[in-house]
Structure 1
């Protein structure tokens, strides 16, 4: 197995630059997730690792070898796509063995690799079926199995669960996590779904507009974001953001009902800042008067109240157990100062 290293990699299409000098190291056996909004460059960067997109500038290394100008077949990678890309006229067994048969591998070796892949993915009962007789989750497992039998140094996943329904997505997330545990291979996974990123990754790379915003373990990014973009992207529902002004060593935040005292070194008096507060770090005070309940979402053990301040700013607060708010209520919120995040209004960087 092998790690991946990128050195100042750049991608241009003509005069348009879409990847801007990415430096990144992915350790041997690590599960790394590229996450970000649509158009941020995550799939392009993955395809550059695979060799499906040329690297305009910089260097790409896999397992200590520079592969920047090598063809995809020479890089030791296998890619699982959003679409299953299975041959409809072939059985599961034939789909999984096709690449090996075309490259002249011995039948005994092919049989051994298929047996191991089907054991890992629990496909033994489907080997003689064709794709049309399989569910979406089973087809994606066949696609992953086809990658496993190649014995790649690095597995690349390009939004492999986006075509599945909600229940199958959860099931396949577990399957992919189990696969990584079983074979210990280096895996790079692209998704726009931060829940997938949080539950699967050893390391998350948050991308925006072709640049890395932050790299770290899932909970590190959640608890210690570097900027407003990462704070808002990691976490569901997203972090609340409201405006405030530094006054007398504290921050006046009308949406939060007055003055708050974040435990950070604040900028100069009169400076406008952004205050961040996660939904689970606040509680509703039904006796307050500063916020109006616009919508409530009851999900069972957890509910979410969507609130609006008199200035029109929006807040989401998580409620557990018995719901204490209802549509049209006027309420306030309570929270601990150490749960507040402060961001510069212009640069959106975190003030610590």
Structure 2
């Protein structure tokens, strides 16, 4: 297995540039997830690694090889798409071994490789079935198995769970994580779902408008984001953001009340505008208070999400536990630990530290 290196890669469609000089190193055996909103360039970047999109400028390397201008079949990669793309008239075994058959591999070798892949993916009982007799999750496992039997250097996944229902998505997340652990291959995975990114990745690459916003381990991005975009994108529910001003070296946050908020952050001068970020689980509901109106409460069992309207008109989400019932239409106060607050420049959106 080998790693992947992108060196100042650019993609243009005519006069429109969609990938802006990206540099990235993905280590051998690493599970790297490209994540970001729709249109950020994550699938385009993946397809450039696969060779399905021409690289306008820069270099794509797999291991020690420069593959920038090589055909997809010569790059040593296997891609799993959002759609299963299985042959309906073939059995599971035939679908998984078809690529090797077309390349002239001996039947015994094909049988051995298909058998190994079916063991890993728990498909032994389904080898004689055709795709129409399989569930969505089973079909996706077959598509992954077809990639495994090719023995690629790098696996590429383009939103492979998007067509599955919620329960199957969780099941397949576990299957893919187990697959990576067992075979130890380099994997690049594209998703817009930050929960998938957080649970699967060794390394997350957060993209926006064809540029990398931040690269790091999941918990690093969650606890130490570089800017407001990353802070808001990583974490579910999303981080709360409130306008604030600097006053006497502290923060005046109207959406949290009249008290000045101390912070250990290096703040700009008095009167400067900043944005305060605080995660829902770092806020606490005070039923005895009345500073915030309760708009909606989502009761999910052991945890609830309370949507509050501040007097400033700003919206806040608070994570409350089952021993903190909050009635819709009522009013509550808020508490927070100032050490949990993040501060961002109002203009550049960069994190102030």
Same fold per superposition (TM over 0.5): yes
Q: Which moved more, 1:259-268 or 1:42-51?
A: 259-268
CA distance in 1, matches of 2:31, 2:214: 16
CA distance in 2, matches of 1:241, 1:70: 46
| 1:329 and 2:330 are equivalent in the alignment | yes
CA distance in 2, matches of 1:249, 1:323: 34
> In the alignment, which residue of structure 2 is the partner of 1:156?
156
Conserved in 2, the CA contact under 8 Å of 1:284 and 1:324?
no
Conserved in 2, the CA contact under 8 Å of 1:257 and 1:332?
no
> In the alignment, which residue of structure 2 is the partner of 1:52?
52
> In the alignment, which residue of structure 1 is the partner of 2:85?
85
Alignment of 1:79-158 (within 5 A): 79-158=79-158
Shift in Å at residue 132 of structure 1?
0.5
Shift in Å at residue 122 of structure 1?
0.4
Shift in Å at residue 321 of structure 1?
2.5
> In the alignment, which residue of structure 2 is the partner of 1:311?
312
CA distance in 1, matches of 2:12, 2:263: 43
> In the alignment, which residue of structure 2 is the partner of 1:269?
270
Tell me, what secondary structure is at the counterpart of 1:168?
helix
Shift in Å at residue 289 of structure 1?
2.1
Could you list the per-position Cα deviations for residues 312-343 of structure 1 after superposition, in whole angstroms to 9, with x for gaps in the alignment?
00000000122331111111111111100000
Tell me, what secondary structure is at the counterpart of 1:58?
strand
Alignment of 1:160-199 (within 5 A): 160-199=160-199
Alignment of 1:213-252 (within 5 A): 213-252=213-252
TM-score (norm 1): 0.99
Conserved in 2, the CA contact under 8 Å of 1:18 and 1:210?
yes
Structure 1 alignment gaps of length 5 or more: none
Shift in Å at residue 202 of structure 1?
0.2
Shift in Å at residue 261 of structure 1?
1.2
CA distance in 2, matches of 1:75, 1:20: 23
Tell me, what secondary structure is at the counterpart of 1:188?
strand
CA distance in 2, matches of 1:285, 1:135: 47
CA distance in 2, matches of 1:71, 1:321: 56
> In the alignment, which residue of structure 2 is the partner of 1:76?
76
CA distance in 1, matches of 2:300, 2:288: 24
> In the alignment, which residue of structure 1 is the partner of 2:206?
206
> In the alignment, which residue of structure 2 is the partner of 1:351?
352
Could you list the per-position Cα deviations for residues 236-276 of structure 1 after superposition, in whole angstroms to 9, with x for gaps in the alignment?
00000000010011011110112211221111110000000
Could you list the per-position Cα deviations for residues 91-140 of structure 1 after superposition, in whole angstroms to 9, with x for gaps in the alignment?
11111111100100111111110010000000011111110010000000
Structure 2 alignment gaps of length 5 or more: none
CA distance in 1, matches of 2:105, 2:343: 59
CA distance in 2, matches of 1:347, 1:337: 23
Could you list the per-position Cα deviations for residues 287-318 of structure 1 after superposition, in whole angstroms to 9, with x for gaps in the alignment?
22211100000000010100001110000000
Tell me, what secondary structure is at the counterpart of 1:79?
strand
CA distance in 2, matches of 1:77, 1:227: 33
CA distance in 1, matches of 2:275, 2:262: 13
| RMSD after superposition | 0.6
CA distance in 1, matches of 2:12, 2:310: 45
